[in-house]
């Protein structure tokens, strides 16, 4: 560290020390953080701030010139290292702050909360170790923070991060990042352009003996909102309890509640569509839904030829999520980014969300760096101007669905040319093969214990059969279908009498 940078950081810490001496009562502030003056804070105050904001015309947050931010690409961003000695709550789920970059173009205000008081963290380039020619230096004191990350006890790795628009993600339970959550989605895959709400301000509270609570103010042309996100880590992964109040400036045609964003390039269902040696590349391999009626659904993800939106109508859903079910390293063979360790993310609604639909948006991609999968809940009644919407839900960053499935789960989906092996069927005939495992399938025999149930929105399934897979604790459902032009919705499951033995496999098939 050179003398100038050391002096600047020392001055910032001196400001924090001065502010601490003026704090009221026994409020304990992290000694490492350069902080500004304290102001009263509560979630009720934040909700009032969001309501007042929504009552005024939208004004985008000012930021540095776009050409300066464009230069802070992935490499430049990675070379700007936050100084460990300036980490609030260091060694106990400490927090470190990201600078702005090409993906986080709006400066966000970050505050620390203690004893009902909030104090802003003061931005300075001297908080970062970076090369002398770093483009971040050209932003100067007029820049700001892009977001923040929550640190593990090793003081090196992080377990959660908030960065860019309203995106946030977690590395639990495998210490590996993958898909992301968002605060809100507006008009995703709609006729007009998508709107990306932004978390413009954060407040971080970290009471002793508990996980941190993050409060956030969201703003966009259509809506302003107040968020409280409480964190609880455990052996099964991370739980985030999220309480939201949204106030709408104008009507929203397609509102996306609890949106999840992931990547699916290709999987075992398809032949490798690119010149890549790895057998599968995806952060998630399917959408799981637990409907309000109790039905369990599994929809394998696709990399479609064109943008596709699938809607699953429901009332009072019990949960949905983007899952990574395949945990076998051999199915990916990637020893650099470890796709088998990517977390699954499950949304657990708290309270009655009423009527609406789980929406799945699939966008074509030709590479693994694109987030091309989005899933969210859309209320049946679109919010009008002046409307207010309160929501409560829990996010589970986990291995699989946290709620017991209770029936056999889909463990593989395959398809190809229809007909018998070695004897091609008619042109356009396709064969689908679905493997189920778990639940009450173990010990069943071929002698009428399980029946294949297959339906199609168009066309008629042919030769549907079900049988136990030789040498494996799994059952296979297989059928052919002559696919007509356009898309066909397929549904399949196993039953015994009137009892469903498995979840329902659903798929959008194209010829």
84-116 pLDDT, tens digit per residue, is 999 998 877 799 999 999 989 999 999 999 999
Same domain, 63 and 34: yes
pLDDT mean over 214-224: 98
- What proportion of the chain, given as a percentage, has pLDDT over 70? 93
Same domain, 331 and 447: no
Confidence bin at 63 (pLDDT 50/70/90): confident
pLDDT mean over 475-493: 95
Same domain, 476 and 372: no
pLDDT mean over 490-499: 95
Residue 422 lies in a domain: yes
Out of 398, 431, 466, pick the residue that ends a domain.
398
Question: How confident is the model at residue 28, as a pLDDT?
Answer: 54
Same domain, 437 and 393: no
Please tell me the distance from the alpha carbon of residue 40 to that of residue 176, in angstroms, as a whole number. 37
What distance lies between CA 223 and its chain's CA centroid? 20
Please tell me the distance from the alpha carbon of residue 154 to that of residue 231, in angstroms, as a whole number. 19
Out of 398, 418, 445, pick the residue that ends a domain.
398
Residue 101 lies in a domain: no
Does residue 423 or residue 368 have the better pLDDT?
Answer: 368
The H-or-E segment that residue 75 falls in is helix 74-78
CB 364 within 8 Å of CB 304: yes
Same domain, 141 and 15: yes
Residue 507 has pLDDT above 90, yes or no: yes
Residue 130 lies in a domain: yes
- Residue 184: give the domain boundaries: 3-96+106-398
Same domain, 266 and 167: yes
Same domain, 384 and 413: no
CATH code for the domain in which residue 188 is found: 2.70.98.10
Confidence bin at 257 (pLDDT 50/70/90): very high
CB 159 within 8 Å of CB 211: no
Residue-averaged pLDDT of the chain: 90
Question: How confident is the model at residue 381, as a pLDDT?
Answer: 95
Question: How confident is the model at residue 33, as a pLDDT?
Answer: 67
Question: How confident is the model at residue 209, as a pLDDT?
Answer: 79
Residue 205 lies in a domain: yes
Per-position DSSP letters for 44-56, written without gaps between them: HHHHHHHHHHHTS
pLDDT 10s digits, 166-188: 999 999 999 999 999 999 999 99
Please tell me the distance from the alpha carbon of residue 139 to that of residue 125, in angstroms, as a whole number. 9
CATH code for the domain in which residue 485 is found: 2.60.40.10
Same domain, 497 and 373: no
Out of 370, 398, 426, pick the residue that ends a domain.
398
Residue 59 lies in a domain: yes
pLDDT 10s digits, 126-148: 899 999 999 998 887 678 999 99
Please tell me the distance from the alpha carbon of residue 393 to that of residue 387, in angstroms, as a whole number. 20
Question: How confident is the model at residue 199, as a pLDDT?
Answer: 98
Does residue 31 or residue 329 have the better pLDDT?
Answer: 329
Residue 351 lies in a domain: yes
pLDDT mean over 229-257: 97
Same domain, 418 and 372: no
How many domains, in total, are found in the chain? 2
Coil/strand/helix, residue 172: coil
Same domain, 167 and 276: yes
């Amino acid at each position: 560290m050179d003398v100038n940078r050391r002096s600047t950081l020392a001055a910032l810490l001196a400001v924090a020390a001065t502010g601490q001496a003026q704090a009221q009562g026994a409020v304990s502030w992290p000694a490492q953080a350069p902080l500004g003056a304290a102001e009263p804070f509560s979630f009720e105050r934040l909700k009032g701030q969001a309501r007042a904001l929504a009552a005024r015309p939208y004004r985008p947050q000012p930021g540095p010139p776009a050409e300066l931010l464009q230069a802070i690409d992935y490499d430049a961003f990675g070379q700007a290292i936050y100084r460990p000695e300036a980490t609030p709550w260091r060694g106990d789920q400490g927090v470190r702050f990201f600078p702005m970059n090409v993906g986080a173009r709006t400066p966000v205000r970050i505050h620390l909360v203690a004893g009902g008081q909030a104090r802003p963290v003061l931005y300075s380039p001297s908080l970062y170790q970076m090369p002398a020619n770093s483009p971040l230096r050209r932003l100067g004191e007029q820049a700001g923070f892009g977001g923040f990350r929550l640190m593990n006890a090793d003081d090196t790795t992080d377990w959660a991060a908030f960065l860019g628009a309203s995106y946030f993600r977690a590395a639990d339970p495998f210490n590996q990042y993958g898909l992301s959550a968002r605060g809100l989605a507006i008009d995703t895959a709609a006729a007009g352009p998508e709107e990306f709400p932004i978390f413009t301000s954060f407040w971080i509270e970290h009471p002793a003996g508990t996980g941190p609570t993050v409060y956030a103010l969201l703003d966009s042309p259509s809506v302003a909102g107040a968020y409280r996100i409480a964190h609880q880590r455990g052996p099964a992964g991370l739980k985030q309890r999220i309480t939201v109040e949204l106030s709408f400036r104008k009507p929203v045609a397609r509102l996306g509640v609890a949106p999840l964003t992931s990547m699916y390039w290709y999987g075992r269902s398809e032949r490798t569509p690119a010149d890549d040696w790895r057998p599968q590349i995806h952060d998630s391999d399917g959408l799981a839904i637990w409907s309000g009626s109790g039905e369990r659904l599994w929809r394998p993800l696709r990399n479609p030829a064109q943008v596709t939106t699938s809607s699953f109508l429901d009332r009072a859903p019990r949960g949905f999520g983007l899952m990574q079910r395949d945990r076998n390293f051999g199915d990916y063979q990637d020893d650099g980014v470890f796709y088998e360790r990517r977390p699954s993310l499950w949304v657990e609604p708290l309270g009655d969300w009423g009527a609406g639909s789980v929406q799945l948006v699939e966008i074509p991609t030709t590479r693994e760096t694109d987030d091309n999968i989005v899933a969210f809940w859309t209320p049946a009644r679109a919010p009008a101007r002046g409307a207010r919407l309160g929501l409560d839900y829990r996010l589970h960053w986990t291995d699989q669905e946290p709620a017991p499935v209770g029936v056999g789960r889909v463990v593989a989906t395959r398809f190809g040319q229809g007909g018998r092996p070695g004897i091609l069927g008619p042109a356009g005939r396709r064969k689908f093969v679905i493997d189920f495992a778990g639940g009450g399938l173990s010990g069943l025999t071929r002698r009428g214990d399980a029946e294949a149930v297959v339906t199609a929105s168009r066309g008629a399934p042919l030769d549907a059969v079900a049988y136990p897979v030789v040498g494996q604790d799994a059952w296979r459902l297989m059928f052919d279908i002559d696919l007509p032009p356009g898309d066909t919705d397929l549904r399949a499951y196993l039953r015994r009498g009137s009892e469903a033995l498995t979840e329902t496999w659903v798929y959008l098939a194209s010829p």
